[in-house]
Amino acid sequence: MVYPEIHLFGTEDADTLAAAAEPLDGPLIAALGEVARAADAWLVPGSVCERGENGEFFNTAIVFAPDGRIMASYRKIFPWRPFEKYTPGHSFVTVDIPDVGRLGLSICYDAWFPEVSRHLAWMGADMIVNVVKTTTEDRSQELVLARANSIVNQVFTVSVNCAGPVGKGRSILVDPEGAVLQEASGAAPDVLYQHIDFGAVAAVRERGTAGTNRMWDQFGPSDRPIELPLYQGRIDPQHWSPSNRHPN
């Protein structure tokens, strides 16, 4: 079960959100763990306001196992500046769902930075879970981004946005070739349900998107590294493919 970004807090006021922040061993997180336990389900309860060890104020997505344990937490790397006052996170996070597949975590504005989805896919994510609280008119662009990020990385993407009257709704689930599997029709509250075969990721990468495009097989063993001045790094053909799934 996946819910939207910061939907439990009922406000966008930065001071109110900061006052509500607590460590991941706080009472709200414990209560959410009990919700997962009671439902006997994997739970991504949107994101929460986390207070870091040194007073930082993070926007953090959490994954709970059916027994209520925290299996992963991810701090939003790209707060929506200048409007959001969160401390940026600095680590990509994936989590394995036994006998199902691997999820990569992102939050709202992260979807606008292709480096996030690319790294999560490289780390072996079969699905990118993007929890969202979009109250502005750019939800239409975010739907395009969900499909684009799925297409160029050959992964599932689920983008779960707050419904009205707070958000613009239109949550969406996209397959590894960019086809829309489910989409909420508007801003009204809705529930999307879909059985997902994560084996479709490997199948698409093997046959190619639309039967032709195999981007993760782009490089050969004799290809030279490509310098990336923006990142002060490079693409190394020897480490390009996620075919050997990378650890969390």
Question: Which entry of 49, 50, 76, 133 is annotated as an active-site residue?
Answer: 76
- Judged by DSSP in three states, 96 sits in strand
Is 108 assigned a catalytic role?
yes
- Residue tagged 């053909």 (tokens): 237
Is 115 assigned a catalytic role?
no
**Contact of 38 with 67, CB cutoff 8 Å:** no
Buried b (16+ CB within 10 A) or exposed e, 184-213: beebeeeeeeeebebebbeebbeeebeeeb
198: which 2 tokens? Answer: 């994560």
Rounded Cα distance between 159 and 143, Å, is 8
Question: Which entry of 5, 50, 84, 142 is annotated as an active-site residue?
Answer: 5
Is 5 assigned a catalytic role?
yes
In sequence order, which residues have a C-beta less than 8 Å from that of residue 51 and are 6 or more positions away? 21, 22, 23, 26, 57, 58
Q: How far is CA 168 from CA 107, 140, 143, 171, 192, in A?
A: 16, 9, 12, 9, 16
**Contact of 180 with 166, CB cutoff 8 Å:** no
CA-atom Rg of the chain in angstroms: 18
Question: Which entry of 49, 50, 84, 108 is annotated as an active-site residue?
Answer: 108
- Catalytically active residues are 5, 76, 108
